[in-house]
Amino acid sequence: PTLYSIRMRAAQGGPHEQGGKHISGGERLVQSPDVNQAVLELMDKASNHSRGPFDFLNLIVEEIPWEELKLLPPLPVQTEQVASVEAGRDLALTLVGKCGVSPAAGKLGLQLIQSMGHVRGAVVLDAHTGERLDDRGERGVRVSRLDWRPGSYERWLDQHPGLTNPRTKEALALATKVSAAPGAVAELCWSDDPDYVTGYVAAPHLGYCRITRLKSPGEEHGGRVFFIHRSVDLDTYLTFLEQTPVWIGW
Ligand code: PML
pLDDT confidence of residue 69: 98
What integer pLDDT is reported at residue 49 of this predicted model?
A: 87
Question: What is the rounded (10 degree) CA torsion for 239, 243, 249, 250?
Answer: -90
What percent of the chain has pLDDT above 90?
91
**Residue 247 Cα to ligand 1 middle (Å):** 19
Q: Tell me the average pLDDT across 182-195.
A: 95
Q: Ligand 1: list residues with CB < 6 Å.
A: 165, 167-168, 171, 189, 191, 198-200, 210
- Looking at every residue in the chain, the average pLDDT score rounds to 96
Q: Is the peptide bond before 53 cis (omega within 30 degrees of 0)?
A: yes
Task: Give the pLDDT of residue 138.
Answer: 85
Mean pLDDT of the region 134-147:
94
**Which residue, by CA, sits nearest to atom 9 of ligand 1?**
191
pLDDT confidence of residue 119: 64
Out of 120-124, 143-147, 156-160, least confident range:
120-124
Report angle CA 31, 2, 74 to the nearest 5 degrees: 40
For residue range 201-223, what is the model confidence (pLDDT) as tens digits?
Answer: 999 999 999 999 999 999 989 99
Instruction: Supply the Cα-derived Rg of the chain in whole angstroms.
Output: 17
CB 220 within 8 A of CB 189: no
Using the mean position of ligand 1's atoms as its centre, give its distance from the Cα of residue 1 in Å: 32
Hey, where are the domains in the chain? 3-68, 74-248
What percent of the chain is helix, strand and coil (3-state, nearest 5)? 35, 30, 35
Of 92 and 17, which is predicted with more confidence?
A: 92
- State mean pLDDT over 85-109: 98
What pLDDT, on the 0 to 100 scale, is given for residue 118? 60
Q: Which of 50, 79, 192, 198 has the most ligand 1 atoms within 8 A of CB, as the residue to mutate?
A: 198
The DSSP symbol for 49 reads -
